Amino acid sequence: MARYRGPRLRVIRRLGELPGLTRKKMDSVKSQLKQKKKNKKMSEYAIRLQEKQKLRFNYGVNEKQLLRYIYLARKVKGSTGQVLLQLLEMRLDNTVFRLGMAPTIPAARQLVNHGHIYVNSKRVSIPSFQCKPGDTITVKENTKSIDLVEKNLSAPALSNIPSHLELDREKKTGVVNGIIERSWVALTLNELLVVEFYSRK
């Protein structure tokens, strides 16, 4: 299944707010219509599928990638749902977004793909790169890259930077100090339902 490139408002009307996918907000009329639809009884499968789709669209991963993250999360000691969210949150594209260097995760992915982002002074162009505690994220030393990030930092998508990240606005440098805590995940989601959705796979 390819990465979604269609209308984003259609997705958030169906699934609710997805801070990583778009900065657009639903107006009150559309919100009321969504509430009416929500009141319809959904099957157990539909509820689990909806939670899985929230995760997939918010982080911009396809089905195959998400399944791989589920397998990795199962191997790690601890809550599978929490480990899954940590793996997705520690991706480079998401880390760049959470630092405020990009307005959305798709925009952060483009920044990484185009070589604007460096990790520990090495250019990394793979959005799924897993950031580790101690990693330093910097912007390429050229006017275009710096201007692009500066513009995004002046109006970040999310008001607060998570406690596991540290940002130096002047130097446009981010440091990963640890692993993200569940309370800092911006997406409203029941991750256990996602794990249950994949339990038979």
Tokens 């630092």 belong to which residue?
A: 99
- How many domains is the chain partitioned into structurally? 2
* Cα 30 to Cα 135: distance, rounded to the nearest angstrom: 42
Give alpha helix (H) positions in 16-156. Answer: 28-38, 44-59, 63-75, 80-89, 92-98, 105-113, 143-154
- pLDDT of 4 over the 50 cut: yes
Are 83 and 99 in a shared domain? no
Among candidate residues 149, 138, 128, 142, the one with its CA nearest the CA of residue 175 = 138
**Chain centroid offset of residue 170 CA:** 25
pLDDT at res. 1? 42
The boundaries of the domain holding residue 70 are 8-87+186-197
81 and 95 assigned to the same domain: no
* Distance in Å from the first CA to the final CA of the chain: 17
- Indicate whether 3 belongs to any domain: no
Domain containing 156 — which CATH number? 3.10.290.10
Q: What is the CATH number of the domain that holds 58?
A: 1.10.1050.10
Percent of the chain with pLDDT over 90: 34
Residue 1 lies in a domain: no
Residues 110 and 163 in one domain: yes
Distance CA 163, CA 192 (A): 24
State the chain's mean pLDDT as an integer. 84
